[in-house]
């Protein structure tokens, strides 16, 4: 459901690139590369709302969270809090604004100074912002500790004397000390035992109700955001693949990446096996993200070219072979030595037919595949591999197997009221688009 209120936090085109491998010589020779950790993210956070941001490790979640508060400086884009641009604020103004926007860190131990007592840790923001001193400071610290489920006597202890859950409560008390309106929670329960996670999530919800807080919750565990979030954004390689109300994101239609993440949530039934979706390949490097849809290199629903009669599994396998060939310069880079060879004979020693069988077995391709033109191109590529001509092998695959997903970077298509999915499957030009909500 769309929100007619004004957002309390509004992010447009937020980008964070890092230079990689860029020493002085590399920079002079033009050899440095940019790691595209966050690449043009837009989002809104509304008063009293919890926005969950989910994705695999390395997708840019923490970089996004820290760039929002300028804990790291964004490369481009704007972050507006109640209409004021944080990215253009002076250091003094930013320090003042951070009273209103606080951060809870992932590791509740490393984020607490081990040399300070809990009272000093919680009281430090009061000192920095000149909020309270003397008896007023002590009362404020005692109240904050009780608010998060600790007691006044804990103020004189040190972080190492507490459990993980208690340390996270201390971090929450520190964030609450300055009466913020927005709290960014970076994996707030991932370092905690499962039995403690629910307690912390329930505490965050209670505090939200009590103080009218707005949260951005970063998580890789979808069951966490399902429990606490009003809306969810699914992040992949620095871009949002899907955004919508929690109920919409957790129920179809889905971005294929979100669908794979959701399939990994276990059911309470110990005998559950489920229809787990296993993604092929690895997450591409943010140094060189794929052209077109960034997820196409792993997508189980990647679109086939017009006229293709391949099964979807065959098509995915052929694209996997295409990806493997992209940087291959030896047969061992394309297909491994089979166990039956005992390691004695690498693929370079195989006959043409044996190499073909090896490639088809490794990529789970039948002989022949179900499309004549595709079979001809595959056979041609294997012939050229056997000849050692990798350029020709790549060309045979590249010319025959190209998906629209490789050419077009999809926008976030509206599939319902406030529900958007960045996938060509939901574009108006795709003839077999899934039914929309």
pLDDT beyond 60 at 362: yes
Residue finishing a domain among 263, 284, 301: 263
Q: Are 95 and 186 contained in the same domain?
A: yes
pLDDT beyond 80 at 43: yes
User: What confidence tier does 232 reach under pLDDT thresholds 50, 70, 90?
Assistant: very high
pLDDT beyond 80 at 433: no
Determine phi and psi for 329, rounding to 5 degrees: -130, 5
Q: Are 95 and 204 contained in the same domain?
A: yes
Q: Are 258 and 338 contained in the same domain?
A: no
Residue finishing a domain among 239, 263, 287: 263
CA-angle at 209, arms to 203 and 212, nearest 5°: 120
Residue 282 lies in a domain: no
Q: Are 257 and 331 contained in the same domain?
A: no
What is the percentage of the chain residues whose pLDDT exceeds 70?
90
pLDDT at 342: 46
Q: How far apart are CA 159 and CA 361, in angstroms?
A: 55
Residue finishing a domain among 263, 288, 322: 263
- Contact call for residues 219 and 233 (beta carbons, < 8 A): no
pLDDT at 346: 59
Residue 89 lies in a domain: yes
Q: Are 82 and 192 contained in the same domain?
A: yes
User: What is the number of structural domains in the chain?
Assistant: 2
Q: Are 367 and 241 contained in the same domain?
A: no
pLDDT beyond 80 at 89: yes
Q: Are 16 and 96 contained in the same domain?
A: yes
Residue 130 lies in a domain: no
Residue 58 lies in a domain: yes
Choice between 214 and 437, residue whose per-residue pLDDT is larger:
214
3-state class of 182 per DSSP? strand
Residue 174 lies in a domain: no
pLDDT digits (tens, 9 = 90+) for 311-359: 999 999 999 999 999 888 888 888 875 445 544 455 667 889 999 999 9
Residue 131 lies in a domain: no
Q: Are 185 and 88 contained in the same domain?
A: yes
pLDDT at 2: 53
Q: Are 85 and 212 contained in the same domain?
A: yes
pLDDT at 329: 81
Q: Are 252 and 317 contained in the same domain?
A: no
pLDDT beyond 90 at 223: no
Q: How far apart are CA 407 and CA 23, in angstroms?
A: 33
DSSP structure class, residue 184 = E
pLDDT at 101: 96
57 CA to centre of own chain = 6
What is the percentage of the chain residues whose pLDDT exceeds 90?
71
pLDDT digits (tens, 9 = 90+) for 397-431: 988 889 999 999 999 999 999 999 999 999 887 76
Residue 171 lies in a domain: no
Own/partner contacts of 131-136, CB < 8 Å, gap of 24 or more, are: 131/177, 131/178
- Contact call for residues 47 and 54 (beta carbons, < 8 A): no
Task: Please list, in sequence order, all residues whose beta carbon lies within 8 angstroms of the beta carbon of residue 97, skipping any fewer than 6 positions away.
Answer: 81, 84, 86, 89
Q: What's the CATH code of the domain at 76? A: 3.40.50.300
Domain enclosing residue 318, as ranges: 312-402
Q: Are 17 and 81 contained in the same domain?
A: yes
pLDDT digits (tens, 9 = 90+) for 171-203: 999 999 999 999 999 999 988 888 899 999 999
Residue 277 lies in a domain: no
Query: Mind spelling out the 3-state secondary structure of 53-99?
Result: EECCCCCCHHHHHHHHCCCCCCCEEEEEECCEEHHHCCHHHHHHHCC
pLDDT digits (tens, 9 = 90+) for 367-397: 999 999 999 999 999 999 999 899 999 999 9
Q: How far apart are CA 259 and CA 241, in angstroms?
A: 11
Q: Are 256 and 385 contained in the same domain?
A: no
pLDDT beyond 80 at 46: yes
- When the pLDDT of each residue in the chain is averaged and rounded to a whole number, the result is 89
**In the sheet where 182-186 sits, what is the strand order?**
101-104, 182-186, 214-219, 50-54, 231-236, 239-245, 419-421, 413-416
Task: Report H helices in 212-299.
Answer: 222-228, 246-250, 256-263
What average pLDDT score do residues 69-94 get?
95
């Amino acid at each position: 459901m769309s929100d007619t209120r004004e957002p309390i936090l509004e992010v447009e085109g937020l980008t964070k690139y890092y230079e990689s491998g860029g020493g002085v010589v590399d920079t002079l020779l033009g050899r440095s590369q940019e790691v595209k950790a966050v690449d043009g993210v837009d989002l809104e956070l509304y008063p009293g709302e919890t926005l969950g941001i989910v994705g695999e490790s390395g997708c840019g979640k923490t970089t996004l969270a820290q760039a929002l508060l300028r804990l790291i400086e964004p490369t481009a884009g704007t972050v507006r809090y109640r209409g004021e641009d944080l990215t253009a604020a002076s250091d003094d103004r930013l320090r003042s604004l951070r009273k209103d926007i606080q951060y809870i860190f992932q590791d509740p131990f490393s984020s607490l100074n081990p040399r300070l007592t809990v009272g000093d840790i919680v009281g430090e923001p009061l000192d920095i912002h000149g909020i309270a001193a003397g008896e007023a400071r002590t009362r404020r610290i005692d109240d904050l500790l009780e608010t998060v489920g600790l007691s006044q006597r804990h103020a004189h202890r040190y972080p190492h004397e507490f459990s993980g859950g208690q340390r996270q409560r201390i971090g929450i008390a520190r964030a609450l000390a300055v009466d913020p309106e927005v709290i960014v929670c970076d994996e707030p329960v991932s370092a905690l035992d499962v039995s403690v996670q629910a307690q912390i999530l329930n505490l965050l919800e209670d505090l939200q109700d009590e103080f009218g807080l707005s949260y951005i919750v970063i998580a890789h565990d979808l069951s966490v955001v399902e429990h606490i979030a009003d809306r969810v954004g699914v992040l992949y390689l620095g871009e949002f693949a899907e955004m919508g109300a929690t109920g919409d994101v957790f129920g179809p239609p889905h971005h294929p990446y979100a669908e794979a993440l959701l399939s990994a949530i276990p059911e309470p039934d110990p005998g559950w096996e489920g229809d787990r979706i296993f993604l092929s390949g690895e997450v591409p490097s943010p140094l060189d993200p794929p052209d077109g849809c960034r997820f196409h290199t792993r997508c189980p629903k990647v679109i086939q070219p017009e006229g293709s009669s391949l099964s979807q599994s065959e098509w995915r396998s052929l694209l996997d072979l295409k990806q493997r060939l992209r940087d291959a310069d030896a047969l061992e880079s394309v297909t491994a030595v089979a166990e039956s060879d005992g390691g004695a004979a690498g693929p370079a020693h195989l006959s043409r037919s044996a190499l073909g069988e090896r490639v088809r077995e490794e990529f789970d391709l039948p002989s022949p595949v179900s499309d004549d033109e595709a079979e001809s191109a595959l056979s041609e590529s294997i012939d050229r591999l056997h000849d050692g001509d990798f350029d020709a092998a790549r060309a045979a695959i590249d010319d025959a197997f190209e998906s629209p997903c490789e050419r077009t970077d999809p926008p976030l298509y509206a599939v319902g009221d406030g529900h958007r999915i960045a996938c060509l499957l939901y574009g108006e030009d795709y003839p077999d688009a899934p039914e929309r909500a």
